[in-house]
């Protein structure tokens, strides 16, 4: 028997001789003290049950505790980082691109906007500042990336804080020279997307002239310096014949590279959201990728719902969510007009609260790990999109992490209660 507490992250194996105590505890009525529950339970077991947060007094409200922690981070006045859309232009013409942005127009971030972002970084109070480079394809505007990184780093280091940066890129232009340059400017992580095996990838993620991109991207990934970690985001659609493990073997032995299955959100004919179906498929078929190094609660969730979370467009417009890039109606001001905008105007984002008793998520046992899913669903007036569609997929996730922690490498077989 495995016990897991999503709030504390504790994972415990219960020995068979102790099963009766656990069964007994499950049947008990609420009590105001832990001692009351644990009468007759052997000392070491009792201590472990308290330490892991499995037994708590009834007057403690864990949901409220999580909500307070969550809101403390969300409403902080510190700006610990921003996302900069360096350009909306992209050198790819992916067959499924529904971004709706002008990815053909060669716009780049304005110099004035770079100055404003650096100024914001210099005025922030936090110990660290994180800059995420996003697009379009940011590396099509390499000079602007370099200027932005240099100016923001100077501003942050100038007030004795730590600077770090990451980039979301399709990887095609991430040549060894470019990667080395980015590392020298503080870029520590990159997210690069693949669509599975070469055949499938090259039928979808193509250059504007229709040419495939798989080999070039894979070659670039292999040569990225170890100082930069690479998250390979592997788009997954249920029903498509693709093999993640084949690509994994092609990247085997690169200690800075990890692969993360990413269920796509749309089917290719109807544009219906199929994210949950695809997620369930990923959880079922690729359990070895469900490892989470931190099993405790994801208290904050998405930065789009923080008071000071910002995505800055090339012209300085402020958005909240990466998926709003290209949506003309989502615009909460402009950084050129107000370097320190009051983002309370983005009230629709601040109203999202999965810990509120009004939310269906508040009674869901997967809440600590899921954090209510993508807040965009709430903002669009849709029901939550569950990270774990079924109890079975949640159990599979827990067992897989248990196996990982105990050194058992084979994927889990599900036999749980
Ligand atoms: S709201 Fe959803 S889509 Fe937008 S940044 Fe957050 S998780 Fe991503
Ligand atoms: S699994 Fe679904 S109901 Fe549960 S917290 Fe996540 S989004 Fe909410």
Q: For residues 136 and 86, what is the distance between their CA atoms, to the nearest angstrom? A: 8
Do 69 and 299 meet the contact criterion of CB atoms below 8 Å apart?
yes
What is the model's pLDDT at position 272? 46
Percent of the chain with pLDDT over 70: 87
pLDDT averaged over the chain?
A: 86
β-pairing, 318-319 vs 311-312, is antiparallel
- CA–centroid distance, 311 to ligand 1, in Å, is 11
Q: What is the Rg, in whole angstroms, of the alpha carbon atoms belonging to the chain?
A: 23
Number of Cβ within a 10 Å radius of residue 302: 19
Task: Give the model confidence (pLDDT) of 102-138 as tens digits.
Answer: 677 778 999 999 999 999 999 877 889 999 999 999 9
Spatial distance between the Cα atoms of 164 and 142, rounded to a whole number of angstroms:
18
* Contact predicate 396/283, CB 8 Å: yes
Pick the CATH number of 78-350 from 3.40.50.1820, 3.40.5.10, 3.20.20.70, 3.30.390.50: 3.20.20.70
Ligand number nearest to the C-alpha of 356 = 2
> 155 CB less than 6 Å from ligand 1?
no
Pairing of strands 162-169, 187-194: parallel
Among candidates 414, 412, 411, 391, which has minimal Cα distance to 6? 391
Rounded Cα distance between 140 and 174, Å, is: 10
Q: What is the pTM of this model?
A: 0.85
- Give me ligand 2 centre to Cα 337, in Å: 38
Q: Which atom of ligand 2 is nearest to the CA of 384?
A: 7
Residue 415, pLDDT > 50, answer no
| Exposed / middle / buried, residue 17 (Cβ in 10 Å: 0-12, 13-18, 19+) | exposed
Query: pLDDT digits over 75-98, tens only?
Result: 887 888 899 999 999 999 887 775
What's the mean pLDDT in 243-252?
Answer: 82
Smallest CA-to-CA distance from 366 within 298, 284, 270, 282 is with 298
Q: pLDDT category, 417, cuts 50, 70, 90?
A: very low
Q: What is the pLDDT of residues 282-304, one digit of tens each?
A: 676 776 677 776 788 888 888 88
Q: Which of 340, 334, 337, 321 is nearest to 380 (CA)?
A: 321
Which atom of ligand 2 lies nearest, measured to the CA of 359?
8
DSSP-derived letter for residue 383 is P
d(CA 169, CA 293): 24
Q: Which of 7, 67, 358, 367 to mutate to test the pocket of ligand 2 (most atoms within 8 A of CB)?
A: 367
- State yes or no: pLDDT of 262 exceeds 70: yes
**Residue to mutate, 326, 375, 380, ligand 1, most ligand atoms under 8 Å from C-beta:** 375
Phi-psi region of 171 (alpha: psi -120 to 50; beta: other; left: phi over 0): left
CA distance 188 to 166: 6
Confidence (pLDDT) at 277: 64
| Nearest residue to 304 (alpha-carbon basis) of 352, 266, 258, 337 | 352
Pocket of ligand 1, candidates 83, 134, 304: which has the most ligand atoms within 8 Å of its Cβ, to mutate?
304
Q: Write the CB contacts of 55 (distance below 8 Å, at least 6 apart in sequence).
A: 25, 34, 37, 38, 46, 49
State residue 239's pLDDT score.
Answer: 59
Phi, psi of 81, rounded to the nearest 5 degrees? 170, 165
**CA of 371, closest atom in ligand 2:** 5
Which contiguous run of DSSP H or E holds residue 311? strand 311-312
How far does the centroid of ligand 2 lie from the alpha carbon of residue 364, in Å? 6
Per-residue model confidence (pLDDT) at position 344: 58
Query: Pocket around ligand 2: residues whose beta carbon is below 6 Å from it?
Result: 354, 360-361, 364, 366-367, 370, 372-373, 384, 386-388
User: Does residue 374 line the site of ligand 1, with CB under 6 A?
Assistant: yes
pLDDT tier at 355, thresholds 50, 70, 90: very high
Q: Is 302 in the pocket of ligand 1 (CB under 6 A)?
A: yes
Whether 388 and 400 have beta carbons less than 8 Å apart is answered as no
**What is the average pLDDT across 249-263?**
87
CB distance 48 to ligand 1 below 6 Å: no
Domain spans of the chain, in order of start: 1-60, 78-350
Nearest ligand to the C-alpha atom of residue 303: 1
Shortest-distance ligand to the CA of residue 322? 1
């Amino acid at each position: 028997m495995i016990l897991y507490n999503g709030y504390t992250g504790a994972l415990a194996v219960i020995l068979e001789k102790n099963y009766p105590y656990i069964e007994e505890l499950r049947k008990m009525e609420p009590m105001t003290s832990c001692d009351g529950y644990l009468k007759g339970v052997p000392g070491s077991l009792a201590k472990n049950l308290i330490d892991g947060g499995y037994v708590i007094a009834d007057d403690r409200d864990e949901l409220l505790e999580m909500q307070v922690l969550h809101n403390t981070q969300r409403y902080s006045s510190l700006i610990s980082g921003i996302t900069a859309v360096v350009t909306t232009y992209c050198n790819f013409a992916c067959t499924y691109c529904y971004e709706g942005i002008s990815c053909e127009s060669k716009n780049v971030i304005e110099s004035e906007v770079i100055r404003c972002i650096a100024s914001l970084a210099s005025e922030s109070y936090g110990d660290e500042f994180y800059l995420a480079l996003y697009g379009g394809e940011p590396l099509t505007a390499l000079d602007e990336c370099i200027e932005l990184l240099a100016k923001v780093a100077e501003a942050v280091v100038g007030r004795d804080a730590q600077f770090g940066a990451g980039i979301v890129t399709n990887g095609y232009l991430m040549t060894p020279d470019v990667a080395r340059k980015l590392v020298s400017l503080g870029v520590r992580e990159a997210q690069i997307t693949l669509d599975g095996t070469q055949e499938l990838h090259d039928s979808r993620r193509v250059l504007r002239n229709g040419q495939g991109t798989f080999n070039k991207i894979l070659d670039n990934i292999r040569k990225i310096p170890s100082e930069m970690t690479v998250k390979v985001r592997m788009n997954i659609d249920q029903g498509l014949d693709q093999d993640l493990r084949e690509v994994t073997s092609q990247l085997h032995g690169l200690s800075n590279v990890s692969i993360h299955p990413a269920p796509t959100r749309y089917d290719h004919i109807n544009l219906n959201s199929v994210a949950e179906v695809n997620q369930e498929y990923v959880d079922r078929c690729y359990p070895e990728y469900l490892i989470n190094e931190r099993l405790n609660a994801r208290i904050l969730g998405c930065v789009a719902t923080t008071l000071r979370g910002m995505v800055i467009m090339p012209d300085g417009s402020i958005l909240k969510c990466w998926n709003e890039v290209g949506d003309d109606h989502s615009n909460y001001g402009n950084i050129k007009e107000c370097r320190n905008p009051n983002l309370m105007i983005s009230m629709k984002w601040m109203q999202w609260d999965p810990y509120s008793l009004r939310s269906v998520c508040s009674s869901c046992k997967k809440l600590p790990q899921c954090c209510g899913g993508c807040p965009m669903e709430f903002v669009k007036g849709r029901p939550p999109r569950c990270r774990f569609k079924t109890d079975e997929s949640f159990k599979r996730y827990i067992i897989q992490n248990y196996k990982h922690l105990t050194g058992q490498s084979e994927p889990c077989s599900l036999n749980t209660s």
